Amino acid sequence: MKNTALIALATLATVLVTPAQAQFRTPEAAIKYRQSVMTVQGRAFYGTIGAMASGRMPYDAKLAADNAELVVMLSKLPWIAFGPGTDKGAPTDAKPAIWTEQARFKELGDKMQGEVVKLAAAAKTGNLDQLKAAYGPARDACKACHDAFTSQ
41 binds ligand HEC (CB under 6 A): yes
137 in contact with ligand HEC (CB under 6 A): no
Give dist(CA 133, CA 140) in Å, integer. 12
Which candidate, 93, 89, 109, places its Cα nearest to that of 39? 93
Residues 6+ apart with CB under 8 A from 44: 4, 8, 67, 68, 70, 71, 74
Nearest to 63 by CA among 128, 133, 8, 113: 128
Q: How far is the CB of 126 from ligand HEC (least distance, A)?
A: 21
Residue choice 15, 27, 33, 45 for contact with ligand HEC (CB under 6 A): 45
Contacts with ligand HEC, 47-86, as mask; x by CB under 6 A? ------------------------x---------------
Among 14, 26, 39, 127, binds ligand HEC (CB under 6 A): 39
> How many residues belong to the site for ligand HEC (CB under 6 A)?
25
Q: How far, in Å, CA of 36 to CA of 24, rounded?
A: 14
Is 116 a residue that touches ligand HEC (CB under 6 A)? Answer: yes
